[in-house]
Amino acid sequence: MKILVLNGSPKKGKSDTMKITNAFISGMKEFADQDVQIINTIDKHIEYCTGCFSCMRNGGICIHDDDMKEILDRILESDLLLCSFPVYCYGMPASLKALIDRTLPLSSMAMQKVGDRYEHIGQADFSKLRYLMICGCGFPNSEYNFEPAAAQFRLLFADNSTVVTIPESPMFNAPEAAVVTVPRLELVAKAGKQYAETGSIEPELLEQLCSPMIPEEQYAAIVNGTV
């Protein structure tokens, strides 16, 4: 499978979330060979969308001449778009959001009703794409934290989208937390293998992945230096 990872963490290879993403991909590789490309969004020249809509009216040509042209080609070549990012202010980091805004050339102005809502009709064929969000965050709580980012992702990529959210993610870069992070990364790899095999993750496993690794109060006390 051709996997395009959009790494939205400005910490690039040192990202807490990428530790989770790498474990997920290693699980996918246990099932079958995978062709993985990683784009660190912070490194790319991506102008902001100006909202002119000319791309949606003229067959997908954007007014900007920057790295997005190549990125759109790479998205269209892929089977899986894997967005790996930390929660920033309850959403995605700005460099990844700028990239997502600039995928507008893939759609036309025309809209159609799908279920209860409207979607733009594509002007490129990306029907084979599946979408996966892997998201870390600094707080110990998943509720009242991941919901905006997860809802945005599901609305953007309604079909074939899977969302994995893991709280307390700075622990993945703390060697002293290995006693809880190593088993969690093993579970993540198990989910990756399952996803490669079946296209989904069992709800029980997903719930385990998304739970805090240590009790919330203990995590907060460690961060606050009160233990």
Query: Of 62, 83, 106, 137, which one interacts with ligand FMN (CB under 6 A)?
Result: 137
Do residues 206 and 164 make contact, with C-beta atoms less than 8 angstroms apart?
yes
Cα 118 → chain centroid: 23
How, if at all, do strands 80-86 and 130-136 pair?
A: parallel
CB of 11 or CB of 69, closer to ligand FMN: 11
Residue 157 binds to ligand FMN (criterion: CB under 6 A):
no
11 is a site residue for ligand FMN (CB under 6 A):
yes
219, β-bridge pairs: none
| Per-residue burial over 14-48, b = 16 or more CB atoms within 10 Å of its CB, e = otherwise | ebbbbbbbbbbbebbbeeeebebebbbbbebebee
Q: Is 53 in the site for ligand FMN (CB under 6 A)?
A: no
- Integer Cα distance of 202 and 77 in angstroms: 28
**Is 139 a binder of ligand FMN (CB under 6 A)?**
yes
Q: Does 16 bind ligand FMN (CB under 6 A)?
A: yes
Q: Distance between CA 91 and CA 100 in Å, rounded?
A: 13
Residue 29 is which amino acid?
A: K
Query: Judged by CB under 6 A, how many residues of this single chain contact ligand FMN?
Result: 17
Taking CB under 6 A as the rule, does residue 90 contact ligand FMN?
yes
Query: With respect to ligand FMN, which residue has the nearer C-beta, 36 or 223?
Result: 223
| Angstrom distance (rounded) from CA 94 to CA 29 | 30
Judged by CB, which is closer to ligand FMN: 24, or 62? 24
69 is a contact residue toward ligand FMN (CB under 6 A): no
Could you give the 3-state DSSP secondary structure of residue 188?
helix
Among 5, 6, 9, 56, binds ligand FMN (CB under 6 A): 9
Nearer to ligand FMN, 40 or 194 (CB): 40
- Which residue among 152, 154, 156, 170 contacts ligand FMN (CB under 6 A)? 170
How many other C-beta atoms lie within 10 A of the C-beta of residue 2? Answer: 14
Binding site for ligand FMN (CB under 6 A): 9, 11, 15-17, 86-90, 136-139, 145, 169-170
